[in-house]
Structure 1
């Protein structure tokens, strides 16, 4: 855990900083912030805050820049659970303990790391598990049973893709999971002879493997205290003070575990779990209301998450004509279009907020049709239903989003990580240039945020903001200059904008009187550094409810 200490005990503590970026347009800059009972009492200069009487002055942050604690509006506690498995991703990744795992840029290096992990295992019967694999970055090469059997033909192996929408397994795992050429499940890829290749697309196809490996590699991690603590460490290192678990089973054990861990004063993050009815069909609005009745300052149930399609880089997202650039078949529906409105209706009618995963523009179109129908039947002026990812939305769809009063949380990291692949393999130049159209959303006045979807990409909101500002791919290609957003708008999107999409802008997202005293502590002012350096601004630590958490040196 990062070192934590409480500011000097007094009724009121005043933090002094070189500069405070408040995200409050009525008072954008300050140098002092007074904190009492974990909340912001006053913001301004020394004279302003001392009007409240006796206070303890905390000079620890005098040479730092404060901004609101960063808000990650789409990520998963799974980020904290994945580190029990081998990381085989293409890009460098830093773990909860600060260890930097180098990215693997060839199929051979992926297999070598798997072999190394297999050699370290003591239990001959245990499965070898790995995560972060990204086949689209290897061109036409695909990972199959043959390659994984070269690592081990007897130990079951499962390799989860970076998108978490696909998985590769070896022959031993296929046998254990009962998957063969006669298994009638969408998403089991077959070769030219009709045999499974070991690639499993989307959750139905992966489900038999999850039955074998249990809760490991699962997106649900709220029942695991170590995973929640690991997640907290990763988030705090990135300056995050409020984060979602945007797929949650709402299990009694998971709820209690979250209450226990977040209730520890040393836990550095506020957690917002979202009920995922597709994983827990029996957990309806009543179960969510019951969980919400026990909300605390650091644990806030409320959102509901649905997933309509898959991932673009996995070719499982649903896209409109002309389809995928390389001619691959269209993706998979995770909710049948004709059923979507009925599936969403009980939660909308109960006054709950919907967060809906739509990657492809066909999935977005179907979702807009369903929401338009629901809002006509049951109007809700401030519903703030949010489209998550919404990567391929076109101009007409964005206008509909604005007319329906929806929010969008863009997956801007895609521009860097997969932009080159989208340009050459999935969408082609025209559609790749309009992906994650935050510039258009800004011009239309659509409320928006940016996210990492951790563990899909590294949890680092300043990097995510940089992706939206620069729109540069890993090779340096500029994708859609007209969709770039100014730095100030990007910073708002990872603070107050994200808080708005979570219906939490009354308590987090800006440094204003009455809100939680949550701050990201930075070594420099991100609003004044060169835009290309935004991702490199160092996070010194965080403040949560007035308590200082310093990141390890």
Structure 2
């Protein structure tokens, strides 16, 4: 491939040695040089490309915690509280009451074959404080057709009577996660993986494995492209044989604008089988597909009341949440994967889950010391100061779900956490002061894939109602940009090849109309990404 030098109004490299430049040289899909044009001319014969001369170039954004479900779920009906844009650019309105939800689902049913189940997603019961959605609400839409409404947090769902009967859960109220009416009859709400998988098994659908299908991956990549994301994760992938083959073939395509880092779901396998699976897949890694990560689910979500909280628990007195496996098993998994030399990405929403996992990592480190394990706690919404100091000592990374501040900050302040704990939602500034490797993420499809919005959340710390939570935990824009580039790459152990623009790294770039540091803060989430480059290939977004 010939040498091409791109000019820009400004290049923000995320390389502390050379933070800004005006030109970047690309050859064979990698960065060959960065600097002023007269300093790059000794690299050889080149083509000067000035299409971005008036733009600002950043490293391609790295989404350190998202799911390929973002590419799957748009095949089903969106039923969320907030308006949301689909991959085709159509904005679906938010559904703010149960009657609106029912009418929307009736319209979706009218387009389905006679016996086909209706699957919807994005519903958020926390915004319906008067009562919970239940089977009767869905039976009123259609009592014969199975109906499944997946909640926004992906840890819960509500199904109708037909679905309960078909799955056998109608008569299994004793199963943890099968919620009931006062008379003990299942009310249609199912919490966490064990109960929900009974539904997916009945329907013959594995949504997480579907995340590896070619059409899903292409859709996922195209959504990312519009937002300047060049590296995506899929942090709950079964790594099935067919799924791995599909990911290898799809990511190898030059027209698919993404690098992908799937993390195997540890609870899917015994530790022995899972370790062998990850190690085998790791040998197949390519420049665009990185195997080797492991995802461990501990608790659920705070807004879903399934996260595990330390005393005093939920602010409004609701019962404590659920573990996705027994704490002893979770600890054993950490120790086994750590001993095997693998990197864990651990879902910890509640501070009790954080304690359990820090205990597990500390015991694993004592038995099998590893100086650069980079185990990463994901979400860690209300991690406290003592826990962060311990995480720093243990070499743990924290990837915080900053979008929580906007989408659920008001709910946490008023109902789930109260005033003081809501101030330490996503305490990024404190973690940064302690020298902990940090990143921020969107957890798509839980919230939309948009790194500049995520960056805005870390700076503004505003809720949907416009309130500010935890002003002392706010970052500045320059620091926020590093969270969604080089810092996120670090948590994936990919910072040697992506996350900054410097010699030898992949030529992955987000080309913006303006410098994010110069625009008014309220404009940051709306900056236009003119183009996205992956391995030197330009994908225009206009």
Give the TM-score category using the shorter length: over 0.9
For residues 273 and 35 of structure 2, the distance between their equivalents in structure 1, rounded to whole angstroms, comes to 46
1:357 — aligned with what? 347
Structure 2 residue 273 is matched with structure 1 residue 280: no
For residues 290 and 225 of structure 1, the distance between their equivalents in structure 2, rounded to whole angstroms, comes to 22
Structure 2 residue 341 is matched with structure 1 residue 329: no
2:66 — aligned with what? 75
Structure 1 residue 94 displacement after superposition: 1.6
Alignment of 1:310-349 (within 5 A): 310-349=300-339
2:15 — aligned with what? 24
**Residue by residue, what CA displacement relative to the aligned partner does 1:416-449 show, whole Å, maximum 9, x if unpaired?**
0000000111111111111111010111111100
Structure 2 residue 466 is matched with structure 1 residue 476: yes
Structure 1 residue 208 displacement after superposition: 1.4
Structure 1 residue 181 displacement after superposition: 4.6
For residues 145 and 482 of structure 1, the distance between their equivalents in structure 2, rounded to whole angstroms, comes to 43
User: Any gaps of 5 or more consecutive residues in structure 1?
Assistant: 1-9
**Residue by residue, what CA displacement relative to the aligned partner does 1:83-137 show, whole Å, maximum 9, x if unpaired?**
111000111212222222222222221111101001111x211100000000101
**Equivalent residues of 2:15, 2:501 under 8 A apart:** yes
Structure 2 residue 407 is matched with structure 1 residue 394: no
- Of the candidates 250, 255, 258, which is equivalent to residue 244 of structure 2? 255
| Structure 1 stretch displaced more, 139-148 or 443-452 | 139-148
Structure 1 residue 199 displacement after superposition: 0.3
For residues 406 and 179 of structure 2, the distance between their equivalents in structure 1, rounded to whole angstroms, comes to 28
Structure 2 residue 206 is matched with structure 1 residue 220: no
Runs of 4+ in 1 over 4 A off after TM superposition: none
For residues 385 and 326 of structure 1, the distance between their equivalents in structure 2, rounded to whole angstroms, comes to 33
2:288 — aligned with what? 298
Structure 1 residue 539 displacement after superposition: 1.0
Structure 2 residue 494 is matched with structure 1 residue 504: yes
**Residue by residue, what CA displacement relative to the aligned partner does 1:371-390 show, whole Å, maximum 9, x if unpaired?**
11000111111111100001
1:105 — aligned with what? 96
Secondary structure, in 3 states, of the residue corresponding to 2:289?
coil
**Residue by residue, what CA displacement relative to the aligned partner does 1:206-229 show, whole Å, maximum 9, x if unpaired?**
12111122226x233344211111
| Structure 1 stretch displaced more, 59-68 or 489-498 | 59-68
1:5 — aligned with what? none
2:43 — aligned with what? 52
For residues 182 and 383 of structure 1, the distance between their equivalents in structure 2, rounded to whole angstroms, comes to 42
**Residue by residue, what CA displacement relative to the aligned partner does 1:532-553 show, whole Å, maximum 9, x if unpaired?**
22111111120111110011x3
**Equivalent residues of 2:8, 2:52 under 8 A apart:** yes
Alignment of 1:359-438 (within 5 A): 359-438=349-428
Structure 1 residue 263 displacement after superposition: 0.8
2:138 — aligned with what? 148
Structure 1 residue 284 displacement after superposition: 2.1
For residues 335 and 308 of structure 1, the distance between their equivalents in structure 2, rounded to whole angstroms, comes to 7
Structure 1 residue 460 displacement after superposition: 0.5
Distance 1:470 1:330, change over 3 A: same
For residues 64 and 313 of structure 2, the distance between their equivalents in structure 1, rounded to whole angstroms, comes to 29
Q: TM-score, normalised by structure 2?
A: 0.98
Structure 2 residue 192 is matched with structure 1 residue 202: yes
- Of the candidates 79, 87, 97, which is equivalent to residue 96 of structure 1? 87
- Of the candidates 479, 495, 501, which is equivalent to residue 485 of structure 2? 495
Q: TM-score, normalised by structure 1?
A: 0.96
For residues 221 and 429 of structure 1, the distance between their equivalents in structure 2, rounded to whole angstroms, comes to 40
- Of the candidates 254, 258, 270, which is equivalent to residue 269 of structure 1? 258
Structure 2 residue 219 is matched with structure 1 residue 230: yes
Structure 2 residue 37 is matched with structure 1 residue 43: no
- Of the candidates 117, 121, 125, which is equivalent to residue 131 of structure 1? 121
**Equivalent residues of 1:518, 1:543 under 8 A apart:** yes
For residues 161 and 426 of structure 1, the distance between their equivalents in structure 2, rounded to whole angstroms, comes to 17
For residues 137 and 128 of structure 1, the distance between their equivalents in structure 2, rounded to whole angstroms, comes to 22
2:107 — aligned with what? 116
**Equivalent residues of 1:181, 1:194 under 8 A apart:** no
For residues 339 and 446 of structure 2, the distance between their equivalents in structure 1, rounded to whole angstroms, comes to 32
**Residue by residue, what CA displacement relative to the aligned partner does 1:192-213 show, whole Å, maximum 9, x if unpaired?**
1111110000011112111122
**Equivalent residues of 1:76, 1:246 under 8 A apart:** yes
**Equivalent residues of 2:299, 2:308 under 8 A apart:** yes
| Structure 1 stretch displaced more, 124-133 or 533-542 | 533-542
For residues 229 and 260 of structure 1, the distance between their equivalents in structure 2, rounded to whole angstroms, comes to 11
For residues 267 and 53 of structure 1, the distance between their equivalents in structure 2, rounded to whole angstroms, comes to 30
Structure 1 residue 503 displacement after superposition: 0.4
